Chain A
Amino acid sequence: EAQVTQNPRYLITVTGKKLTVTCSQNMNHEYMSWYRQDPGLGLRQIYYSMNVEVTDKGDVPEGYKVSRKEKRNFPLILESPSPNQTSLYFCASSWTSGANTGELFFGEGSRLTVL
């Protein structure tokens, strides 16, 4: 089954404790991206990657890191989480060419609470 898998789905942590949210896709997509979704603010892009070893900042990159060492994986790292990073996080992926270019496939979301 084609899917984007995120882990953990739910996490409560404390300020300053490093955490990583993993994302893996099995569709051989070149493009991967992280979004956060907050009430009243909609979906905002954090980072994206056009392919292995190629990453770039989105609209709200502060406080986050990413890496793309393998095509299928795109982890999101919070080095020192703060309460304002409490949010619902989505990983998404897509092809970059062909008839379905631009169609994003989303993971199920990771709800993060930072105390």
Chain B
Amino acid sequence: QKEVEQNSGPLSVPEGAIASLNCTYSDRGSQSFFWYRQYSGKSPELIMFIYSNGDKEDGRFTAQLNKASQYVSLLIRDSQPSDSATYLCAVRNSGYALNFGKGTSLLVTP
């Protein structure tokens, strides 16, 4: 079973702080890594994708990938209450399907 693991949370951070969301995966052959944000009752929307080891930045978001440790993370700088949502880590293996983690609930408190 190709697993994607996330801490379910909730992760609570104060407004303006850095939120750090983590994800580990079991399949060493995994090729692509995605972070989706899902507000309650809504569909997931893509925030970031990363294919290579290292960091990738997009605005307040930074994705970090370490294939040797089978670890991918998402940092949200200057967290806002509107960032409160569930964050889904998704991993694409050598096949085509995306395997999703169960998500981490983030709460940003004013």
Residues of B within 8 A of A58 (CB): 97
- The answer, among A31, A44, A50, A103, for a CB contact under 8 Å with B34, is A103
Q: What 0/1 pattern do residues 84 to 110 of B give for CB contact below 8 A with A?
A: 000010101000111011110000000
B43 contacts A103, CB within 8 Å?
Answer: no
Q: How large is the interface on A (under 10, 10 to 19, 20 to 34, 35 or more residues)?
A: 20 to 34
Looking at B12-20, B44-52, B56-64, B68-76, the stretch in contact with chain A turns out to be B44-52
Which residue of A41, A43, A101, A104 contacts B46 across the interface (Cβ within 8 Å)?
A104
Contact between chains at A42 and B97 (CB < 8 Å): no
Where the two chains meet, the residues of B that have a C-beta atom closer than 8 Å to any C-beta of A are 32, 34, 36, 41-46, 49, 88, 90, 92, 96-98, 100-103
Residues on A facing B (Cβ under 8 Å)? 31, 33, 35, 40-45, 48, 50, 58, 90, 96, 101-104, 106-109
Enumerate 27 A-B pairs (CB-CB under 8 Å) in ascending A order: A31-B96, A35-B100, A41-B102, A42-B102, A42-B103, A43-B44, A43-B100, A44-B100, A45-B97, A48-B97, A50-B96, A90-B43, A90-B44, A102-B32, A102-B49, A103-B34, A103-B49, A104-B44, A104-B46, A104-B90, A104-B98, A106-B43, A106-B45, A107-B43, A108-B42, A109-B41, A109-B42
